[in-house]
Amino acid sequence: MLINIAMKSLRDRKGSVALSIMAMTISVFVLLSVEHIRHQTKENFANTVSGVDLIVGARTGSLNLLLYSVFKIGSPTNNISWQSFNTITANPKVKWAIPLSLGDSHKGYRVLGTTKQYFEHFSYGKKHRLAFKQGKAFTGIFDVVLGAQVAKKLGYQLGDQLILAHGIAKTSFSLHNDNPFKVTGILAPIGTPVDHTLHVSLQSIEAIHHDGKFTPLSNALEHLQPKSITAFMIGLHSKITTFKMQREINYYTPEPLLAIMPGVALSELWQTMKILENTLILVSILVLISASLGICAMLLSSIRERNKEIQLLRGIGASPFFLFRLIALEALFILAMSIVLSTGILVTILVLTQDYLASSFGVQVSTNIVSLGNLYLVSSLLSTSVIIAMFPSIFGFIESKKNTLSE
Amino acid sequence: MAINLSNVHFSYPEHPKSPVLNIQSWSLTKGEHAFIYGPSGCGKSTLLSILNGLLCSNEGNVTVLDQRLDKMSRRQRDAFRAKHIGYVFQQFNLIPYLNAIDNIRLAHYFGKSVSTSSLNKEITALLTTLNMPEKDWKKPVRTLSIGQQQRIAITRALINKPTLFIADEPTSSLDKGNTDSFMALLMSVIKKYGITLLFVSHDMSLSQYFNRVESFTDINSEEAFQYAN
């Protein structure tokens, strides 16, 4: 009976109820999506690199090194010598090493000079290896392996030829015209900066910077040893030796070097995003508060409008507690409805924009919005709803106790 | 005795210095049909609120259907009202967005007297007795005429088989024709079920239906002309 009356009374005031549900839906939606995207971005960042124990580069800030080596954001401060790379990786603690050479680009996409080790040891997410969608790793000097987005955006197929440019600007005047590259492999999409990278061998980086036309026949790969690289990643036999190795590299005398642990640097990076994150949460909480106050106001004014109805219910024997429950139920229905609606809208929007987000922002957003954070959020929203519903209900309770049969 | 009042005093808590009611002694026997007339604003509705337990007298003895209302808790009075008193107001007798049947069911829900299995039969019988066309039973009552609404109000007031029926100017928003048919229907069902009736109005022409007619000013010795609200 109670539910029946509550539903019919809400339906009777559909206009204002619909508006309240809309206002609340929008604010809950903002709150949920901010939380979801925040969570996803954080996960994305953390997933960009895994299984790498140390990243080594020229002495700079740890964030800077992380950004240019892993995220391909910003420019390297300095190169490090090939000699240092060899000396350090010769250390018995080192299991594997991936040299990284940056500085060239193709139509705005960064080119990474590396070795085959990259495809064997570099991993992302929960220690997933890179996988080839088509083709295989580079073998020749002028072979290139494309990240998934590069191939998709620029429409390259296996066997296509492309020309690299010097520098990282989208339009470069200095093209390495003489030496076109051939696409030998395309990587499967993984939602990290790897998707936006072209991979070539270290030797080809040397080759294209070689003056004049380079003839592959006259020079074997071994003769194109690089003199310097930008950075390198290393994996150790034992995790326990990480700190020791880091110290050794940081105290390496022939050249000033910096070794960072990716996990530590990633969390530092996340710390710097904290202000933005908190601002987003604060804004969504403010939106939520204003919507809650709106609903309170709506319900309170509806109680004034329904004064006669309350009097009548009292007249036919309804207790003030019944009226309290009636009003609380109506408020809870509005709020529950909003939570359900906003969750639905969020999932729909995520499904629809997933590809767009991945291709335009490189953010792989999962459509599964069930996370611990969101569960906390929804349960705290529900308890807030109960509090919000309480105000008008108490008001209705007090109103209904007053004299009722006025003339 | 259906109603027995002695030495009842009442003033609203907001205006404690201006008493509204002062009734030395008044009573209504079971089965009686009493008509009380008086100008509006003289405290009639206040008295009715005390009789159905929505208000509590400041002092005095209020006995309704042999039970001391002034000794009951608020919760007990709510239950008592729902179970034993049928009440028809001047207007706004029904929840406008519910249909006739839901309105009646609601009153039944609070009264909890008849077993639910026979409830639909009871409602059908009552609505038929009161000449309500069946096509209007499921419409929200706000779409019905005031005459029809007042007839549904009688049905609603009767669903819990009350012993005392109180009507507070139920015809004031009806025209002459509707008033006559309303009164005829009301008196016939009251007689049929043998219910005690207390009918309050300012319209003296309605006194023809009653065997006991009294002026409110004779009951209430509070001289000053008070406005209830």
Do B41 and A407 lie within an 8 Å CB cutoff?
A: yes
Do A319 and B75 lie within an 8 Å CB cutoff?
A: yes
pLDDT score at B164:
92
Do B93 and A313 lie within an 8 Å CB cutoff?
A: no
Do B97 and A8 lie within an 8 Å CB cutoff?
A: yes
CA B46 vs CA A205, A407, B61, B94, B220: distances in Å: 99, 9, 16, 21, 11
Q: Mark the ranges of chain B whose per-residue pLDDT is less than 50.
A: 224-229
Whether residue A185 contacts residue A173, with contact meaning beta carbons closer than 8 Å, is answered with no
ipTM summary value: 0.81
Do B97 and A9 lie within an 8 Å CB cutoff?
A: yes
Do B111 and A317 lie within an 8 Å CB cutoff?
A: yes
On whether any CB of chain A is under 8 Å from the CB of B98, the answer is yes
pLDDT score at A364:
67
How, if at all, do strands A94-106 and A80-81 pair?
A: unpaired
- Residue B66, Ramachandran bin (φ over 0: left; ψ between -120 and 50: alpha; else beta): left
Taken as a whole, chain A contains a residue count of 407
The DSSP line for B134-202 is GGGTTSBGGGS-HHHHHHHHHHHHHTT--SEEEEESTTTTS-HHHHHHHHHHHHHHHHHHT-EEEEEES
On whether any CB of chain B is under 8 Å from the CB of A300, the answer is no
Q: Which residues on chain A are in Cβ contact (under 8 Å) with B74? A: 401
Taking the CA of residue A294 and the nearest CA in chain B, the distance in Å comes to 24
Put simply, the chain A residues between 218 and 257 with a CB less than 8 A from any chain B CB are none
Q: Which residues on chain B are in Cβ contact (under 8 Å) with A8? A: 97-98, 102
CA B188 vs CA A56, B84, B191, B192: distances in Å: 101, 19, 5, 6
Q: Which residues on chain B are in Cβ contact (under 8 Å) with A308? A: 92
pLDDT score at A361:
65
Q: Which helix (H) or strand (E) holds B19?
A: none
Amino acid type, B172: S
pLDDT score at A270:
83
Put simply, the chain A residues between 1 and 20 with a CB less than 8 A from any chain B CB are 1, 4-5, 8-9, 11-12
Q: Residue A265 is encoded by which pair of tokens?
A: 């640097």
Taken as a whole, chain B contains a residue count of 229
On whether any CB of chain A is under 8 Å from the CB of B78, the answer is yes
Q: Which residues on chain B are in Cβ contact (under 8 Å) with A7? A: none
Give me the residue from A4, A5, A407 closest to B228, CB to CB: A407
Whether residue A86 contacts residue A226, with contact meaning beta carbons closer than 8 Å, is answered with no
Neighbouring CB atoms inside 10 A of A368's CB total 11
Q: Give the Cα separation of A300 and A305 in Å (integer).
A: 9
Put simply, the chain B residues between 121 and 180 with a CB less than 8 A from any chain A CB are 140, 156, 168
Give me the residue from A4, A309, A315 closest to B54, CB to CB: A315
Task: Point out which residues pair with A104 in neighbouring strands.
Answer: A111, A166
Question: What's CA A118's distance to the chain center, in Å?
Answer: 23
Q: What is the pLDDT along chain A (407 residues), one digit of tens a residue?
A: 788 888 888 888 888 889 888 988 988 888 888 888 878 777 777 788 888 899 999 998 888 898 888 888 888 888 899 999 999 999 999 999 999 998 888 888 889 999 988 988 888 877 788 888 888 888 888 889 999 888 888 888 888 888 888 776 666 666 776 778 889 999 988 878 888 899 998 888 888 776 555 555 445 555 677 888 999 999 999 989 999 999 999 999 899 999 999 888 888 888 888 888 888 888 878 877 887 887 788 778 877 778 888 888 888 878 888 888 888 888 888 888 988 999 899 889 888 887 777 666 666 677 777 777 778 878 887 887 778 778 888 887 777 766 544 43
By C-alpha distance, the chain B residue nearest A1 is: B106
User: What are chain B's domains?
Assistant: 29-56+73-219 (3.40.50.300)
Q: Give the Cα separation of B29 and B196 in Å (integer).
A: 8
Do A405 and B97 lie within an 8 Å CB cutoff?
A: no
Do A404 and B49 lie within an 8 Å CB cutoff?
A: yes
On whether any CB of chain B is under 8 Å from the CB of A319, the answer is yes
* Number of A–B residue contacts, CB under 8 Å: 83
